[in-house]
Chains A and B, each alone.
Chain A
């Protein structure tokens, strides 16, 4: 069985502009593999092909790619998903390309940094663990699982147009994770930082983030909760 690929190639040291390069993989009839496995086989064919990968099991978030027009993790996306089609692999959209499938995620991380992704607790340090009730802990479900693969933010048109001002779905999911944490005491400070026309309110509920999240999370819902908190605080 032959698998057809078209892979985005761009080496700024050599190429004047990006181009799509066709590859073919000969695999056993009826077999399946993940897109990342296919990319590694393609790299044997063509060692100049560059892409990121690490854990190869959907935990590290290194290999976020755009496959046939949809963002996802190459290591947990079977090639059979695209059965019968030529598999087009491109870098995550909207970010500057460093080389081939590797993008520069500086702006993505700057937005993450902006939301202060750590617990702030100004109260006296307890002598033992800062305990939460099971109900308080349950609020963090669906938030803490984000692996920051950037699939959501790079699928979001609002983030494409304003990556310097709009925090993006991933950053806002993390922001809500700390806003709702019963141990965090900086809620007011965090909300003040988000209370402008761009940081949160550039989300128009397009929901591409929900559609592409490889961990099945719902950043739009978290953003809705942040908007409600800002609204409650202002009214």
Chain B
């Protein structure tokens, strides 16, 4: 067995489950937004504000943001472990990407909960 500490999951199966579930959430969120924009109310500030004022939309958006963090963390870890063989450089890059992903999550939460 190959051990790894820098990925998000505890092992391969855990990573696999997290990747797939986060992908399903992101796919649902994307489809919902596309359908809303294509067939929903006209896109203007009032309607957009109304949509994101809804508690279920806030929760859905929060779920999508967390799914994005999880998906990006594992995905970036996989890409970095493929292409960056220097472990120090990989550690630094992983740190930067994870911090960026957390920043997106924080800003997203503040924005959505500010509506």
Contacts and interface: CB of A to CB of B under 8 A. Distances in A.
A51 interface: no
Contact of B12 (A157, A198, A235): A198
B82 A158 contact: yes
B17 interface: yes
A197 B82 contact: no
Contacts of A195: 1, 11-13
A196 B1 contact: yes
A201 B4 contact: no
Residue among B2, B11, B14 with max Cβ neighbours from chain A (10 Å): B2
A27 B2 CA distance: 52
B9 interface: yes
B9 A197 contact: yes
A82 B14 CA distance: 45
Nearest to B8: A197
B82 A201 contact: no
Given A158-B82, A162-B82, A198 B16 contact: no
Interface in A112-165: 157-158, 161-162, 165
A197 B17 contact: no
The CB with the most chain B CB atoms within 10 A, among A195, A227, A233, is that of A195
A59 interface: no
A230 interface: yes
Contacts of A157: 82
B109 to A, nearest CB: 28
Give the contact-size bracket for chain A: 20 to 34
Contacts of A158: 82
Contacts of B2: 165, 196-199
Contacts of A198: 2, 4, 12
Given A165-B2, A192-B1, A231-B17, A197 B83 contact: no
Given A198-B2, A198-B4, A201-B16, A161 B83 contact: yes
A162 B13 contact: no
B81 A199 contact: no
Contacts of B81: 161-162
Given A165-B2, A231-B17, A196 B12 contact: yes
Interface of B: 1-4, 7, 9, 11-17, 78, 81-83
15 contacts: A157-B82, A161-B81, A194-B1, A195-B1, A196-B4, A197-B7, A197-B15, A198-B4, A199-B2, A230-B12, A230-B13, A231-B16, A231-B17, A233-B13, A234-B14
Interface of A: 157-158, 161-162, 165, 192-202, 227, 230-231, 233-235
